[in-house]
C-alpha cells in the first residue's frame, strides 16, 4: 500500500493538567480550567464547574503516545502519514464558557503563549495552533487576536454555539470580524463547543448526540451569511471543523431559495447569492465521510479539507492510511491532493509534505 501523505485541518493539543493553575495568580487560577485524576476517573473543571468526567481507562484507551509531547507527536504523525496539522485546544475548548472578563483574558493568553512555544515553535512549523479568544469581551478578543497574529498564529478558535442574545449575526461581533479579516486569521469554529444543548439520554443517544453536534456548525454559516458578515468582509475566511462537508452545498441551496423567494423580507441585501459567499469563504473539515469527497467532485464545493482529529476517538489515529486509501483510491489525484494538501496549504500558508 503506497503511503499517502496528508495535511490535517483538524487535530487537538492536550494541555498539561496544570497549565493554568501553575502559572496564574491564585485568585484567577481558582477559576481556570484544571484536570483532576483519581484512581478511577478524570474530571475537568472550568470556572469551578465540572465540564466532563470520564473513566481513566476510557480516556487512556485512545490517547496516542504523542498526545502530550510534541516530539513524540511528530513521530506519531510520521507513522500515520500526516505532515502539517491545524491543532485546536482540548481543555482550551472550554475557555469559551468562562464568564469573568479577567479570568477569560488571562486564561486565553496563557494558552496561546504555551501553544506558540510548546507546539508551534517546537514542531518546526508542522503544527499550526488555533488561538483561544475571550468570549466575554469582544474588545479583549480583538486585542488578543491581533497579539497572536503578531506571534504567527494563522487561525483562532471560536465555539459553534454562543449564548442566546450573543448570536454571531449580532453586530456586537463586528470588530472581531474586521480584525480577523485585517490580520488574515482564519476563524475556526469547531463543532461540539460552546453552550451546547443537553445531551439526549434515551435510546440511540450516542449516534443522535453525535449528529446533534453538526447542526450548530450549520447555524454559524447561516448567521455569518444571512447577516451580511461574509459579504461585508470578503477576505474573511471561516471554517467549520470536524463537521463533514456535504451539508454545505445543501444549506447554500436552502439559503439561496430563502433569499430569492422571501426577497421582500430580506435584510440586509447581499451583493451576491448566499451560495456564492459560502463557496468563496466557508471551509470545512471531515475525517471519514465519503460524501465530503463527493461535495467536491459532484457539487463543485472546493473548500473541503481532510482532518485526522488526532488524538480523539472520532479521529483516524491507527487507521489513517486505510482511511485515506478508502476515501481517495477511486478519485482523481488532483482531487485527492486538493482535499488532503493544497486547500490547507493555501489557507494556512503551511508547508506541503515532502515529495514521495
Identity of the residue, 140 or 242, whose beta carbon is nearer to Mn ion in the bound complex: 242
> Shortest Cβ distance from residue 10 to Mn ion (Å)?
4
* Calpha distance 318→310 (Å, rounded): 10
* Calpha distance 243→141 (Å, rounded): 24
> Shortest Cβ distance from residue 288 to Mn ion (Å)?
13
Identity of the residue, 47 or 309, whose beta carbon is nearer to Mn ion in the bound complex: 309
Stretch of 3-11, 49-57, 119-127, 251-259 lying at the interface with Mn ion (CB under 5 A): 3-11
Cell of 204: 440511540
Q: Does 140 bind Mn ion (CB under 5 A)?
A: no
Secondary structure (3-state) at 354 = coil
Q: Does 10 bind Mn ion (CB under 5 A)?
A: yes
Identity of the residue, 226 or 244, whose beta carbon is nearer to Mn ion in the bound complex: 244
Identity of the residue, 10 or 231, whose beta carbon is nearer to Mn ion in the bound complex: 10
Site for Mn ion in 94-133 (CB under 5 A): none
Going by C-beta distance under 8 Å and a sequence separation of 6 or more, which residues neighbour residue 355?
A: none
Site for Mn ion in 272-291 (CB under 5 A): none
CA 197 to chain centre: 19
> Shortest Cβ distance from residue 190 to Mn ion (Å)?
6
> Shortest Cβ distance from residue 139 to Mn ion (Å)?
28
Stretch of 8-16, 171-179, 289-297, 348-356 lying at the interface with Mn ion (CB under 5 A): 8-16
> Shortest Cβ distance from residue 314 to Mn ion (Å)?
7
Give the length of the chain.
356
> Shortest Cβ distance from residue 241 to Mn ion (Å)?
6
Going by C-beta distance under 8 Å and a sequence separation of 6 or more, which residues neighbour residue 29?
A: 20, 21, 22, 23
Which residue's Cβ lies closest to Mn ion?
242
Size of the site for Mn ion (CB under 5 A): 3
- Cβ distance 100 to 47 under 8 Å? yes
Identity of the residue, 80 or 309, whose beta carbon is nearer to Mn ion in the bound complex: 309
Site for Mn ion in 298-317 (CB under 5 A): 309
Q: Does 231 bind Mn ion (CB under 5 A)?
A: no
* Calpha distance 31→50 (Å, rounded): 11
- Cβ distance 248 to 284 under 8 Å? yes
Tell me the pairing of strands 155-161 and 127-131.
parallel
Stretch of 7-15, 134-142, 159-167, 194-202 lying at the interface with Mn ion (CB under 5 A): 7-15
Q: Which residue has the cell 485524576?
A: 37
Identity of the residue, 108 or 213, whose beta carbon is nearer to Mn ion in the bound complex: 213
> Shortest Cβ distance from residue 200 to Mn ion (Å)?
21
Q: Which residues of 23-51 are buried (b: 16+ CB within 10 A; e: fewer)?
A: bbeeebbebbbbbeeeeeebebbbbeeee
Q: Does 242 bind Mn ion (CB under 5 A)?
A: yes
Identity of the residue, 29 or 343, whose beta carbon is nearer to Mn ion in the bound complex: 343
Stretch of 37-45, 238-246, 293-301, 319-327 lying at the interface with Mn ion (CB under 5 A): 238-246
Secondary structure (3-state) at 302 = coil
* Calpha distance 335→351 (Å, rounded): 19
> Shortest Cβ distance from residue 312 to Mn ion (Å)?
6
- Cβ distance 321 to 81 under 8 Å? yes
Identity of the residue, 246 or 285, whose beta carbon is nearer to Mn ion in the bound complex: 285
Cell of 56: 481513566
Beta partners for residue 186, in sequence order: 155
Cell of 2: 503506497
Identity of the residue, 42 or 314, whose beta carbon is nearer to Mn ion in the bound complex: 314
Interface residues with Mn ion (CB under 5 A) are 10, 242, 309
Amino acid at each position: 500500500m503506497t503511503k499517502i501523505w496528508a495535511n490535517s485541518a483538524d487535530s487537538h493539543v492536550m494541555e498539561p493538567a496544570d497549565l493554568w493553575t501553575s502559572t496564574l495568580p491564585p485568585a484567577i487560577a481558582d477559576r481556570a480550567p484544571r484536570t483532576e485524576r483519581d484512581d478511577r476517573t478524570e474530571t475537568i473543571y472550568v470556572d469551578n464547574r465540572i465540564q466532563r468526567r470520564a473513566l481513566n481507562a476510557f480516556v487512556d484507551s485512545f490517547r496516542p503516545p504523542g498526545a502530550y509531547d510534541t516530539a513524540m507527536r511528530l513521530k506519531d504523525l510520521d507513522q500515520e502519514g500526516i505532515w502539517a496539522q491545524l491543532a485546536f485546544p482540548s481543555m482550551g475548548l472550554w475557555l469559551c464558557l468562562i464568564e469573568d472578563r479577567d479570568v477569560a483574558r488571562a486564561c486565553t493568553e496563557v494558552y496561546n503563549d504555551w501553544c506558540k512555544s510548546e507546539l508551534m515553535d517546537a514542531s518546526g512549523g508542522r503544527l499550526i495552533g488555533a488561538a483561544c479568544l475571550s468570549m466575554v469581551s469582544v474588545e479583549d478578543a480583538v486585542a488578543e487576536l491581533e497579539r497572536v497574529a503578531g506571534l504567527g498564529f494563522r487561525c483562532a478558535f471560536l465555539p459553534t454555539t454562543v449564548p442566546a442574545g450573543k448570536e454571531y449575526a449580532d453586530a456586537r461581533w463586528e470588530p472581531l470580524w474586521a480584525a480577523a479579516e485585517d490580520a488574515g486569521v482564519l476563524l475556526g469554529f469547531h463543532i461540539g463547543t460552546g453552550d451546547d444543548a443537553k445531551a439526549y439520554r434515551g435510546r440511540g443517544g450516542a449516534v443522535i448526540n453525535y449528529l446533534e453536534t453538526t447542526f450548530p456548525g450549520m447555524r454559524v454559516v447561516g448567521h455569518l451569511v444571512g447577516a451580511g458578515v461574509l459579504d461585508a468582509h470578503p477576505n474573511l475566511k471561516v471554517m467549520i471543523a470536524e463537521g463533514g462537508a456535504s451539508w454545505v452545498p445543501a444549506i447554500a441551496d436552502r439559503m439561496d431559495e430563502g433569499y430569492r423567494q422571501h426577497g421582500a423580507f430580506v435584510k440586509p441585501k447581499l451583493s451576491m447569492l448566499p451560495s456564492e459567499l459560502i463557496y468563496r469563504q466557508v471551509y470545512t473539515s471531515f475525517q471519514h465521510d465519503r460524501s465530503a469527497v463527493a461535495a467536491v467532485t459532484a457539487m463543485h464545493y472546493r473548500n473541503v479539507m481532510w482532518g485526522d482529529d488526532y488524538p480523539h476517538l472520532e479521529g483516524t489515529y491507527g487507521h489513517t492510511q486505510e482511511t485515506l486509501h478508502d476515501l481517495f483510491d477511486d478519485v482523481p489525484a488532483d482531487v485527492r491532493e486538493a482535499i488532503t494538501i493544497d486547500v490547507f496549504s493555501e489557507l494556512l500558508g503551511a508547508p506541503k509534505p515532502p515529495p514521495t
